Amino acid sequence: MSEGMVYIIGAGPGDPKLITVKGLERLKEANTIIYDRLASYRLLSFARRDAEIIYAGKSPAGHTMKQKEINRLLVEKARAGKIVIRLKGGDPFVFGRGGEEAEALYEAGVSFEVVPGVTSAIAAPAYAGIPVTHRGLASDLVIVTGNEDPLKESSNIAWEHLAADTGTLILLMGMANLPEITKTLVKHGRSPQTPVALVQWGTRPNQRTLTGNLANINEMAVHAGLESPVVIVVGNVVKLRDKLRWYDNKPLFGKRILVTRAREQASALSEKIEALGGEALEFPAIVIAEPEDYVPLDQALRSLAVFEWIIFTSVNGVTSFFQRLRRQRIDVRELCRARLCAIGPKTREALENYGLIVEYVPGEYRAEKIAAGLSGKLKPGERVLLPRAAVSRQVLPETLRELGAEVTEVTAYRALPASWDGAAVKELLIRGEIDVVTFTSSSTVRNFATLIACENIGELMANVIVACIGPVTAATAMELGIKVDVVAAEYTIDGLVTAIMERQHSSS
């Protein structure tokens, strides 16, 4: 059996993109991932399909595993020859108990490495527009645990020195002790008017920032209902927030947006949402699958030379077509006679990635416009190959045949209903915790409705913004009783995101 290895990795403070390159590389290699409450769940999507994933989170309400159990588990998995990732929020050596885990591994004779992470002590204030040091305001920085009650008889923290310092004081895990912390700092000489910021869930789309001073911040926190995890920032640098805040000024900040695209494509939409400050909640309503029968597609691929046109109506169609072409060992040069048509810019881009030139892209990205645009280009009797999803609308082949074309339709892939349990998403909708639901095809609408399993889905979604990529998708939603609030003017992911932003701007 090969020797195991443990990597203690800092996942960063919450934004999944703040993990280091090295940390992400190791994560992708792991056999076993043991992760914490504060490590972004989105990072788990980078895990191998066969990776064992174990939650070991801790919160003020309780611990899933005690520290000794975690230590024992790390040793056990490594001794079984596994590449083990211990994924910890922030930096593992900044109040992350990573040192204790490393000690346990050393004593057990298990090999380990530590991959530092971005600590929330610096990142959370930065995302709130607060630099922890600043010329003329703070030339030193102290980071301490707030988990220790400052009123206990003996303390390991020199509160009198912290109170006398005029630099920036950062306290982690201190929300439960906030009243005692503020009183103690004032008692030891810090001015009651010293600015204070509380940054909850720093670097995440649900980040909240509250500012006040040592005299009033506790009352403000109680009134706002602020709970752990919170980074406490004490010092004059807090005054810069009004000028330097940037994250919570993003157009979709604080909005939770449901993405129903297939998992293979969801990331493109999710990344755009998150770049604009929103939270993308992925709930794929469809799964891309191979055709039930490859014979029709294979026959078409072996006869590519007979087609004058090949029309692609989706990126999935392009991907599936060329994957099968490669598996069948058919040379792409067999396409030399055919002129290519793509339904939109992303489909064109997918074809161009294969070094191919696209003859035609309609100005409006829908099947009806493809046929209309080809009316002056397509000659009667020309053969057209249409590789696309099973059970697609017939408007395109029917219109092409009316133009005199000989159309060969083949199934390149299937868009099947996903098998997820929709109960959790349904509960979020009931509680009003989803702001926007996006649909990028008619199949995502139908399958979403099936997964949610609600007798009156229109009523369930009455208070959420429903955004559709185009009029065909919108029509399907309305047929199912779902009101549609946003329809993209340009039927692309960029167009959908733009339409959502415009809706948010008009309603703000």
Pairing verdict, β 230-234 and 168-172: antiparallel
Identify whether 173 is a catalytic site residue.
yes
Radius of gyration of the chain (CA): 28
Supply φ then ψ for residue 65, to 5 degrees: -135, 145
* CA gap 272, 400 in Å, rounded: 36
65 catalytically annotated:
no
Exactly one of 5, 15, 36, 485 is catalytic; name it. 36
Please check whether residue 191 is in contact with residue 124, taking contact to mean a CB–CB distance below 8 angstroms: no
Annotated catalytic residue 36: yes
DSSP percent split of the chain into helix, strand, coil, nearest 5: 40, 20, 40
> What is the Cβ-side half-sphere exposure of residue 59, based on CA atoms within 13 angstroms?
10
Beta-bridge partner residues of 385: 310, 408
Contact 230, 147 (CB under 8 A): no
Q: Point out which residues pair with 169 in neighbouring strands.
A: 142, 234
Residue 182 contacts residue 214 (beta carbons within 8 Å): yes
C-alpha–C-alpha distance, residues 39 and 16, integer Å:
8
Catalytic residue among 58, 239, 346, 369: 58
Check 15, 77, 88, 173 and give the catalytic one. Answer: 173
CA separation for the pair 59, 368 (Å, rounded): 55
| Terminal alpha carbon distance of the chain | 61
Separation of alpha carbons 352 and 257, rounded Å? 31
Q: Give catalytic residue positions.
A: 36, 58, 173
